[in-house]
A and B are shown apart, each in its own frame.
Chain A
Amino acid sequence: MLDPQSSLVMYDEEYQRILVLLEKLLRESNTKVIFLVDKNGQLIAATGETANLDTTSLASLTAGNIAATGGLAKLIGEKEFSILFHEGEKDNIHISIIGGRVILVVIFDQRSSLGLVRLRVKKATNDLAVVFEEMARKTAEETASAGSATSPFAEITDDDIDNLFN
């Protein structure tokens, strides 16, 4: 399982693999939008009709939602609720947790169904979990071997930070 306290590092290679899996899920489940969010609210990847969606806000609220229901779960002695489903008049949201750290969000309308989404999500979850486990392993290995030398922030200066605020 991914360690929720460590930094998440994603390279282009994994991003492309994730995107392929999300696009496959989008196609097979006949859904509108799919996105992946870190449990801390950061958007990892999105696919589908995202043009008119505020994905940053969606990511943050989804993570808040998962955190709140996770809190509820603990209060009644559950580890977490791994699936959440919100039903709207037209659009519905299906939220599930992958590998303990990443959240998969699927938005769909009447062109799909909850049963189909659940079925396809289950399959995709296993494939995505493999990618994230590899990602975690890679990050851990690189941190152990190279330390901070590979970090793009290794030689950050006060001037760099001052420039951000100008």
Chain B
Amino acid sequence: MSFINYASREINCKIVYYGPGLCGKTTNLQFIYTKTANEAKGKMISLATETERTLFFDFLPLALGEIRGFKTRFHLYTVPGQVFYDASRKLILKGVDGVVFVADSQEERFDANIESLENLKDNLEEQGFDIEKIPFVIQYNKRDLPNCSSVEELSDLLNPRRVPELEACATTGEGIFETLKAIAKLVLTDLNKGA
């Protein structure tokens, strides 16, 4: 949950990138890291296996600027996407303020997306969150690949709540900052309601 520090006039929010294995969660963070000015970012931490698969989480702290005299800091996390790391995934969701679901647009990953979304729903519930209420956006990644399902098809299955949805290509960076902006907007608006 957000941490409002009146002493240093800072607000900290936690955003988690969720999705099936190899959908591009880490690539999202890597792109944000490379395109953010040095003064606005901290060190990116990746707890990954030797083959660069996320083992526990990636972490990227961002200091985006000020709102009403408060420094706005976002802590971006990814979860390990592989099915058998479920215990770790649950832990990362603790105290989350907003979730980005990164879907893999490739036809052959259709079922993996659905499975991961169901898993997200279960794990959020376990932490006391409702997927219907938490700030949530969906990103359809890998739109540059030839074997993509249509956005309509993906949207029908993954987005019944009609949350903001964005097309992206994490390797070229298309749609990455738009996604971050969309979730930041929801999280900050939610603070206003909930605080």
Contact = CB atoms under 8 A, between A and B. Distances in A.
Interface string A5-22: 111111110111000000
Interface residues of B, number: 47
Interface string A136-160: 0000000100001001111110101
Contact of B68 (A42, A71, A152): A152
B84 interface: no
Chain B contact residues, majority secondary structure: mixed
A50 interface: no
Given A4-B95, A8-B1, A67-B91, A153 B192 contact: yes
* Residue among B1, B8, B87, B185 with most chain A CB within 10 A: B1
B123 to A, nearest CB: 12
Given A40-B14, A152-B69, A156-B188, A165 B64 contact: yes
Interface in B42-78: 42-43, 45, 47, 56-57, 59, 61, 64-65, 67-70, 72, 75
Given A151-B192, A163-B67, 20 more contacts: A5-B128, A7-B191, A10-B3, A10-B5, A14-B7, A15-B8, A54-B43, A56-B42, A64-B56, A71-B90, A71-B91, A152-B70, A153-B11, A156-B189, A158-B185, A161-B184, A162-B181, A163-B65, A164-B64, A164-B184
Interface of B: 1-8, 11-12, 14, 42-43, 45, 47, 56-57, 59, 61, 64-65, 67-70, 72, 75, 87-88, 90-92, 94-95, 128, 177, 180-181, 184-185, 188-189, 191-195
